[in-house]
Structure 1
Amino acid sequence: MGMRLLQHRGADGARSVIAASNDRAAFVPGAESVRALALAAIAAGHSLADEVAARGNGATVDPAAELAAGRLIAPIDHPDPAHLLMTGTGLTHLGSAEGRDKMHREAAAAEQQTDSMRMFLAGVAGGKPGPGEIGQQPEWFYKGDGSQLVGPEAPLAMPAFAQDGGEEPELAGIYLIGDDGTPFRLGLCLANEFSDHVTERHNYLWLAHSKLRQAAIGPELLLGAAPADVRGTSRIVRDGAMIWEKPFLSGEANMSHSLANLEHHHFKYPLFRRPGDVHVHFFGTATLSFSDAVRTEAGDIFEIEAAPFALPLRNTLVRAAEDLVAVRQL
């Protein structure tokens, strides 16, 4: 199992970083955040794993026990949440058009392909270009900034006005922009991209509204080359009983786009290459409980797990209080 980095916050608020590899985990001396470690690695001209190795080993720790105690936070953040951007791409996985197409089919004539199906097929045809080539542009959406990022075991809140709060089990790429504008992929996290599928189904032009939601990432940042085949399980627990469970697939072997193509079409915009910024980019999924007619309720627990991650991502669905926003004339 490859190296994973975790961010820890003690009872006194003190922060630290844990490096886990195989069945051993220890604190990283002198590290208070993964972002700071990555900045040091960039400055030294070596990998994030090399930066961790150069610092030696601190006290050993049990990540599962720390997760259960509520002392693990999201494995990436930014001191200024406005400089962490959450975005994503959809219709990127083989089979992912099925659920989306099912949602939108009623809005189109039976003999017509929906916009979702056309975009999916375009990705299948051109989403994995050869070296040095630029492939088909994917669907893209904005989710919010660092204020919307939720860590493991924390509540996942849907707004009071939301029609649905549905899970989306997937992988998220974690990036840091270097001083010269170069995007560096730090690694991958398990993620729950979390969307409002009822709002999206009502009208596809409301996709942007349906995606402006919180999102959760798992406790571990997986370093190194991205695994090509990731197989996991997504489930929903209600009142102590599992009401839905399904396997999900990710990694390039199960995708219609390469990661490099998705990354190009995100970072091709100069505003996303601002030095020091952090990006959490969700790569999409083909598995939704909504497609199986599940309607989530406040109190439901989303559980997502997949190797090579050792720890699950678990969040409880809550609904935020209603609040009418009134603009004042100045």
Structure 2
Amino acid sequence: MDKPILDIVIPCYNEETVLPMTAPLFLKKIEELIQEGKISLDSRIVFVNDGSKDKTWEIIQDLSKKDIHFQGVCLSRNRGHQNALLAGMMEAKDKCDITISIDCDGQDDIDAMDKMVDEYLAGAEIVYGVRSRRDTDSFFKRFTAESFYKVMHWMGAETVYNHADYRLVSAKVLKEFSNFKEVNIYLRGMFPLVGFKSTCVYYERKERIAGESHYPLRKMLALAFDGITSLSIKPIRIITGVGIGISFLSFLLIVYALISYFMGSVVPGWSSSLIASCFIGGIQLISLGVIGEYVGKIYLETKQRPRYIISERTDDEECKGD
């Protein structure tokens, strides 16, 4: 069996502080795996510049000139972490046998790649990197993250608990995954839909090496909501159930009002009427908001706009130099 070609796909957004520190670590890992005879000499590290506003792309260009293992693609504008990751994997799928996606900040344990490659050589097509614990997270982040995975499971979405976007995926899986054309993507929940043999590798996450996280609470909530609306229609079914329940309670109140009227014991109830009106109005607005979110996603899907546009590749510059 030929040694597999590995592409490590790394999305980058304003990482000029941390990239010079983590790039040598990724290169060292590639060289170790090559020396151990697990992967091919043609393996690469593919950086995806997600429309950074700092010197991230210049650093990637400089790295590609210094070592043949470094490659880079630049998106025409910022498209978000998930689209940048997808762009890197789609670029790699025809040039390698396996990809490992990992963030640039050095928090994910790079040494877990050894176990991932071993699992691939043993027959797995997808290997999920799963956090064994969340000691480095604040209580709030740990609580919200774990709650999110539980909610996703309750919603019927197939996700891997405590898995983010650190995973090994074979080219065979990526070629099938390329048939998924939706714009509203949530990769953590979409790869289980593809199928194929999969397994998990557990690791401990570290503190960020340098710089600040580019995933504040606002972006985390947006990603969570994208994941729910991308993978489940249960919120709409919940709205239907709530509507049926409220309708039943309203019917009981009507019966009670009629009985009270005919018995002559009607008492003006301004407070109860106001509370009921506000409650029903609030439920209606929330329901319209959730339904509107799904309608908006359908609207975006029908436009069939590209999920990302690649403006430059370091390979293009090398061709110009030749």
Identify whether the pair has TM-score above 0.5, normalized to the shorter chain: no
- Structure holding more helix per residue: 2
> Based on CA coordinates, which of the two structures has the bigger radius of gyration?
2
Length-normalised TM-score, structure 2: 0.23
- Structure holding more strand per residue: 1
Length-normalised TM-score, structure 1: 0.23
